[in-house]
């Protein structure tokens, strides 16, 4: 019988709380497989998908490997734990040319042949069938794995597909993430989801200064990352009134700093509204003027919730590498302006003193501007 084996990641370290983490992981796996018929089973520290339509094998493998908490997946043959059945399955898995070795895990010690002897015997049978193959115990092209379980069944497989690891989404609370159309924030979303956090996005849109294509670009990014976050809602906030007020009443060099403070206030209000316990940004220390220690301190001063910055120690090349891996990079570099770049000053302040920022900001009716922005929100379910 064709099956798919799913192995989980660091959940095994969770001790008495392990059942909770496993239940969330199983729920998430079933969520991504909701379009397919299958049977779900458990086998010690792994799960098994059986009785699925083999025409959808690749789609199922792709969906499951991107669930946070999954360490690896393997398409396999499940056969009775007899020498003949195991041998036939092992021979069928090997290629015609190249190098190979056989690994045996004998969890069922009642099986009469020791692991090393079974591996050697099966290697001989494989060579008889495919004489062009060669044994390589150290760097083989193909590893035929034999996993003899305690229930009288054996898994035989040669492919181990790496999963995304991490913790199941839904095990680490909820956060609000500021999502722009750039490279960084989708990566920050991915990194926080990888630690088990459920996420909701807020995007600041300055129509007509920014186009509807810029807004759609952000929604497209949210759709791509939803592959990993499982669920995604984007709160699109009209930021035009705030930016216009800052442009009219504040010195140009403080515009980005004041804008970031407004964004933080609005994100925190959304966090309280939706039961989130943290605000997340895609900031990397020193990358731009608004991400110096002093600028971050100024932004943080208006927040009462924890502010997570999962990319704070990453350089741009490292962030781009992850963006390319998760599939957001090509969309992020599309040439549509976001609200920050439209009003970008020629020489922004890089080390703003908090007292100076607060003095500049006093020219604005902060409460009214924030409340108006909250009233403007468009909720988009991805």
28-41: pLDDT as tens digits: 999 999 999 999 99
Alpha helices per DSSP H over 66-149: 83-93, 115-129
Residues of the chain with CATH 3.40.50.620: 174-381
pLDDT 10s digits, 68-104: 999 999 999 999 999 999 999 999 999 889 999 999 9
Of the listed ranges 185-199, 248-262, 277-291, 333-347, the least confidently predicted one is 333-347
What CATH architecture does domain 174-381 belong to?
Answer: 3-Layer(aba) Sandwich (3.40)
Residues 270-285, mean pLDDT to the nearest whole number: 96
Close Cβ partners of 336 (under 8 Å, ≥ 6 residues apart): 181, 210, 211, 213, 214, 217
| Cα–Cα distance, 110 to 322 (Å, whole number) | 46
Residue 172 CA: distances (Å) to CA of 9, 167, 195, 276, 377? 16, 8, 7, 11, 26
pLDDT at 250 over 80: yes
Type and span of the H or E element at 59: helix 57-65
Measured CA to CA in angstroms, residue 206 lies from 186, 200, 288 at distances of: 20, 20, 21
If you average pLDDT over residues 220-248, what whole number do you get? 95
- Residue 239: alpha-carbon gap to chain centroid: 28
pLDDT over 70 at 160, yes or no:
yes
H or E element in which residue 155 lies: strand 153-157
> Residue 254, SS3?
helix
Q: What local confidence, expressed as pLDDT, does residue 46 receive? A: 86
Q: Which pLDDT score is estimated for 60? A: 97
- CB distance 79 to 86 below 8 Å: yes
Q: What are phi and psi of 54, to 5 degrees?
A: -65, -15
pLDDT exceeds 60 at position 328: yes
- Tell me the average pLDDT across 331-336: 86
Mean predicted lDDT score pLDDT of the chain: 93
Q: Give me the percent of the chain exceeding a pLDDT of 70.
A: 98
Query: Average pLDDT for residues 106-123, to the nearest whole number?
Result: 95
Q: Cis omega before residue 208 (within 30°)? A: yes
Residue 214 has pLDDT above 80, yes or no: yes
Q: What's the rounded Cα separation, in Å, for the pair 177 and 268? A: 10
- pLDDT computed for residue 346 by the predictor: 75
Does residue 25 carry a pLDDT above 80? yes
Q: Is domain 2-162 classified as CATH 3.30.2130.30?
A: yes
Element (DSSP H or E) covering residue 241: helix 240-249
Looking at the DSSP assignment, which residues form a beta bridge with residue 269? Answer: none
Distance CA 145, CA 89 (A): 11
The four Cα atoms 214, 219, 223, 226 give a dihedral, to 10 degrees, of 120
**CATH 3.30.2130.30 segments of the chain:** 2-162
**What confidence category does residue 339 fall into, taking pLDDT thresholds of 50, 70 and 90?**
low
Q: How confident is the model at residue 340 (pLDDT cuts 50, 70, 90)?
A: low
Rounded CA separation 325/191 (Å): 12
Query: How confident is the model at residue 330, as a pLDDT?
Result: 95
**Alpha-carbon span 114 to 93, nearest angstrom:** 21
Q: Is a pLDDT exceeding 80 seen at residue 45? A: no
Confirm if 76 and 90 have CB atoms less than 8 A apart. Answer: no
Tokens of 366: 């902060």
Which pLDDT does position 350 carry in this prediction?
A: 86
Alpha-carbon dihedral 331, 336, 339, 342, rounded to 10 degrees: 140
What mean pLDDT is predicted for residues 140-155?
Answer: 94
């Amino acid at each position: 019988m064709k099956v798919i084996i799913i192995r989980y990641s660091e959940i095994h370290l969770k001790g008495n709380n392990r059942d909770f983490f496993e239940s969330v992981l199983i729920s998430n796996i079933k969520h991504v497989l909701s379009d397919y018929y299958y049977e779900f089973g458990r086998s010690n520290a792994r799960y098994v998908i059986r009785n699925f339509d083999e025409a959808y094998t690749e789609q199922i493998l792709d969906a499951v490997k991107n669930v946070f908490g999954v360490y690896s997946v393997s398409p396999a043959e499940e056969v009775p734990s007899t020498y003949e059945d195991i041998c036939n399955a092992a021979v069928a898995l090997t290629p015609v040319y190249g190098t190979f070795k056989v690994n045996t895990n004998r969890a069922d010690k009642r099986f009469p042949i020791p692991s090393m002897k079974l591996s050697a015997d099966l290697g001989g049978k494989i060579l008889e069938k495919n004489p062009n193959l060669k044994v390589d115990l150290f760097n083989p092209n193909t590893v035929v794995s034999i996993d003899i379980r305690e229930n009288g069944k054996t898994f035989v497989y040669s492919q181990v597909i790496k999963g995304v690891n991490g913790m199941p989404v839904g095990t680490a609370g909820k956060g609000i993430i500021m999502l722009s159309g750039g490279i960084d924030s989708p990566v920050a979303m991915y990194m926080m989801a990888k630690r088990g956090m459920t996420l909701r996005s807020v995007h600041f849109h300055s129509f007509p200064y920014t186009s509807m294509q810029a807004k759609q670009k952000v929604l497209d990014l949210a759709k791509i990352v939803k592959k990993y976050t499982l669920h995604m809602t984007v709160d699109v906030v009209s930021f035009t009134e705030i930016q216009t007020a800052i442009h009219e009443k504040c010195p140009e060099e403080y515009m980005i700093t004041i804008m970031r403070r407004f964004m933080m206030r609005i994100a925190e209000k959304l966090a309280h509204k939706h039961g989130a316990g943290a605000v997340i940004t895609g900031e990397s220390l020193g990358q731009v003027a608004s991400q110096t220690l002093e600028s971050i301190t100024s932004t943080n001063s208006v927040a009462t919730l924890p502010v997570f910055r999962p990319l704070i120690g990453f350089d741009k090349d490292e962030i781009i590498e992850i963006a390319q891996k998760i599939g957001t990079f090509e969309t992020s570099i599309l040439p549509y302006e976001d609200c920050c770049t439209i009003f970008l000053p020629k020489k922004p302040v890089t080390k703003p003193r908090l007292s100076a920022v607060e003095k500049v900001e006093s020219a604005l009716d902060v409460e009214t501007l924030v409340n108006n922005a909250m009233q403007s929100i468009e909720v988009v379910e991805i």
